[in-house]
Amino acid sequence: MKQNKIILIFAFLVACVHLNAQHFVEPLNYRSRIELSEIYLTDSMELHSGVLPLIHFSNKGLPFQKTQLLFTNKTRTVYSENDLNFRVYPLADIGAGFESGLSIGSPLKYSAGAGAGFDLARKNFFFTAKLLPYFSGGDYVSDSLQKNFSMDAGTTRPISGKLFQRSEFILAYQPNKIFTFSTGYAKHFLGEGYRSLLLSDNASNYPFLKIETAFGGIKYTNLYTVWNNNTVNPSDKNFDRMKFSSIHYLSWNITREFNLSVFESVVWQAKDTLAFRGYDINYLNPVVFYRPVEYSNGSADNVLLGVNLTYKVNKHHAVYSQIIIDEFLLKEIKSQNKWWGNKWGIQAGYKTNQFIVKDLYFQVEFNVVRPYTYSHKYAVQNYGHLNASVTHPLGANFYELLNIVSYKKNEMRFTHKLTFAAFGVDTDSLNYGQDIFRSYSDRAHDYNNLIMQGYRTNVLNEQLVFELPLIKKIELYFTATYNYRMQWTSDQTYHTHFVFAGIKSRFWNRYNDF
């Protein structure tokens, strides 16, 4: 009898998927984005594919209406606009694998979790929530630079022991075609690449408020977030130090093919040595430039500036680039003395969904970030959240080259990802600029700072992923993965092999390729 009840409940959950809907938030998972590359590579004055996640309220007026309707009918639930609609669906993270090489404890790695997603929609209102508690039996790659202690990378601190959870909710409201308001607990991504040097989904979820203003080929985004810093004991909330960020992102489609985007962000601590600042109202201004405000406040908040460039060709190709500037002095750049304070990063890449043959996705990307970028005099004001960078998982002081090839045959997808990174880490008590959670005040030297300075480390990571959709409308997939990782320095070399298979909900990214 009990077994029959379980079957009936599961059948109800799956049946809810087949209600009709047009409201949804696109997953940030990179293979989901590959699956939808026909949309993301569309050249249009109204599509801003570098502001993620994409939130759709209706197909009406969308630049990719024909493509999107086809996609919606195949893989999305379509709600009636005039009625109150909802759906409930299962989430899963179930699988097991083996790791050989660098491993702590048992080579057996597993995850076991089940949860539920819930969507509620009506006209210009949409709410989505996901809760997936799971047990994690060991992290892959125990020597990772992203030292989250007992935390699970990309999620959060454990609920208890090895019990973690992935939780997310977004409440969105679109009163007209110009404004979209959203708030909740989630992640965001800016840019066209696999990585982002401006803002990525590398760190765990966080509370946010986002305002998007779109008109005439322009989308202007205001993103206000609440982050935490805890380098003492991340598993204990009592050691959390709250900080805030305010981000402006102006995306301008100059033509159907060419996009220019300008980025600025400021990070400040909620409480300094004098008083509790809270959310500084000066940074709530949606159009002001942050650097003058910072100076007028007499504060040393952390301001970053950036640019994103994208050129799309024939609706199947895109060339993209990013520049991030944390700090610089022109006279120091002209002197070419490699001053520590000239902190910047560059990304360049190319991607296509028709590489040689149809449905063959190809992407190549290069990233470089100078030492001490994203760090701050006070660690609580760095560009990170809960011991993880909110941009690149390596932090700073690195070169990286990566390639992704993905091919879909019938319903099966095969993805090959290869990354090579060269970076320098701290030795003894000297800060060489890789760890963004260290104060730049204890830097090794002021001048002659070179990328990869410190203890030179090289990592080659290769990953093969096979996916078969079980319930495509809710991103539920059978996944089999093989991962090879080689790390070498001047005096030692390590090889790691990892095999994993299971049933997973494909909504999020889990970065262990560094």
Cα dihedral sign for 384, 387, 391, 397? positive
Sequence-distant (≥ 6) Cβ neighbours of residue 52 within 8 angstroms: 26, 28, 188, 189, 190
Q: Which of 278, 327, 277 is nearest to 306 (CA)?
A: 327
Q: DSSP secondary structure string, 290-310? A: HHHHHHHTT---EEEEEEEEE
Q: What is the 3-state secondary structure (H, E, C) of 136-163?
A: EECCCCCCCCCCCCCCCCCCCCCCECCE
What is the reported pTM?
A: 0.90
Residue 142 lies in a domain: yes
- The number of folded domains in the chain is 1
In a domain, 180, yes or no: yes
Retrieve residue 381's tokens: 């004001």
Segments of the chain with pLDDT less than 50 = 2, 6-21, 59-75, 77, 79, 140, 142-144, 146, 148-149, 295, 298
Angstrom distance (rounded) from CA 45 to CA 50: 13
Q: Is residue 473 part of a domain?
A: yes
Tell the burial category of 447 from Cβ atoms under 10 Å away from its Cβ (0-12, 13-18, 19+): exposed
Nearest in space to 17 (alpha carbons), one of 116, 105, 112? 116
| 514 within some domain | no
pLDDT single digits (tens) 503-513? 999 999 988 88
Q: Is residue 510 part of a domain?
A: no
Domain of residue 148 covers 2-104+127-505
So what's the pLDDT on residue 293? 56
C-alpha 32/C-alpha 237 separation (Å) is 33
Query: Is 208 within 8 Å of 245 (Cβ atoms)?
Result: no
User: Which residues are paired to 248 by β-bridges?
Assistant: 222, 264
Instruction: Say if 512 falls within a structural domain.
Output: no
Cβ-based neighbours of 274, under 8 Å, separated by 6 or more: none
Is residue 308 situated within a structural domain?
yes
Percent of the chain with pLDDT strictly greater than 90: 57
Q: What is the CATH classification number for the domain harbouring 429?
A: 2.40.160
pLDDT of residue 152: 60
